[in-house]
Amino acid sequence: MDVLSPTFGGSGLDRFRQLLVSLTWRDLRIRYKQSLLGIAWAVLLPFSMMLVFTFVFTRAINAAALLPVDMPYALYAYIGLVPWTFFSASLGGCVNSLVANRNLVTKVYFPREVFPLSCIASSFVDFCVALSVLVALMLYFQATGQWTFTPSLALLFLPVVVIVQIALTIGLGMFLAMANLFYRDVRPMFGIVIQLTMFVSAVVVPVPTGDGLLARCISLNPMVPIIGAYRDCVIAGTWPDAGGFLYAAAVALTLMIVGWIGFRRASYRFAECI
């Protein structure tokens, strides 16, 4: 049965959930349709970027000397690239989610929030697949003696880090979806900004710290403490910096609430802007 049908049974929450699952599955099928490697691309994208950055920052630049903890640079880069790829891919889908579904946006009997949320959900599937390679990398460096994994209770905090990132992504995704619907030049502008932002988010190299103007501006980026929290919990075996992570959580929660409310209030104008 078509989940978009107004006669689809169940409660409102159940219909919302089933519609979200249906759209997420549709996005995954479209993304990997007629693809030779299929969902393996979820691993190959961050893994290939890790190889490139490892070559550049260990051969041309001794970036390993700048790392805050003793670890192989490849591991440092990969654990930054996996959440960043999830973040950028989710927002890249969100920014065009309403425009790409213009035929469905005109329907009035389902919430439009499912469009950006389905983009985030499908990217989260890729995120989970890519994490499997992180485990393989950790086992490899452990076996070769280049790094030693020490389990700690901090690893239990990892789901909280993921939830905070998802909340941040939802908030920004709602804003981007609305903005691109009203102003179509948001999408190409986003492509430029997200590429530049990667280098000030501690994804592949540590960001400057201290009291300088650049360091202060970079510290406002909530993805810096989020990516740092991934490394702290998984690699360093320590708890994330409380101040930085609480700031990121506060920003994420605020953006999600404001973005969701703003999206809801503006949804009545979506059909006329398509």
Query: In this predicted structure, what is the pLDDT of residue 235?
Result: 86
Q: Which residues, in sequence order, are CB contacts of 36 under 8 Å at separation 6+?
A: none
Q: Which of 201-210, 240-249, 255-264 has the lowest mean pLDDT?
A: 201-210
* Residue 192: predicted pLDDT: 85
pLDDT tens string 196-237: 888 888 888 887 777 778 788 888 999 999 999 999 998 888
Round to whole Å and give the CA distance between 111 and 260.
11
Identify which of 32-46, 52-66, 71-85, 199-213 has the greatest average pLDDT: 71-85
HSE-up (13 A, CA, CB side) for residue 189: 7
Q: So what's the pLDDT on residue 202? A: 84
Reading the block at residue 86, the tokens are 């999830």
Above 70 in pLDDT, residue 152? yes
DSSP letter for each residue of the chain = --TT-TT--S-HHHHHHHHHHHHHHHHHHHHHTT-SSGGGHHHHHHHHHHHHHHHIIIIIS-GGGG-SSS--HHHHHHHHHHHHHHHHHHHHHHHTHHHHTHHHHT--SS-TTHHHHHHHHHHHHHHHHHHHHHHHHHHHHHHTTS------GGGGGHHHHHHHHHHHHHHHHHHHHHHHHH-TTHHHHHHHHHHHHHTTTTSSSPPP-SSSHHHHHHHT-THHHHHHHHHIIIII-SPPPHHHHHHHHHHHHHHHHHHHHHHHHHGGGHHHH-
pTM for this prediction: 0.82
- Which of 174, 186, 170 minimizes the C-alpha distance to 270? 174
| 188-207 core/surface letters (b: 16 or more CB in 10 A; e: else) | eebeeebeebbebbbbbbeb
Gap between the terminal Cα atoms of the chain = 27
Confidence at residue 9, expressed as pLDDT on a 0 to 100 scale: 43
Each domain of the chain, given as residue ranges in start order, spans 38-273
The pLDDT score that the predictor gives to residue 270 is 81
Q: Give residue-wise pLDDT tens across range 120-138.
A: 998 998 898 888 888 888 8
Residues 6+ apart with CB under 8 A from 144: none
Do residues 96 and 187 make contact, with C-beta atoms less than 8 angstroms apart? yes
- pLDDT of 195 above 80: yes
Cα–Cα dist 236/47, whole Å: 21
Q: Which two tokens stand for residue 51?
A: 């190889």
pLDDT given for residue 12 in this prediction: 55
Phi-psi region of 238 (alpha: psi -120 to 50; beta: other; left: phi over 0): beta
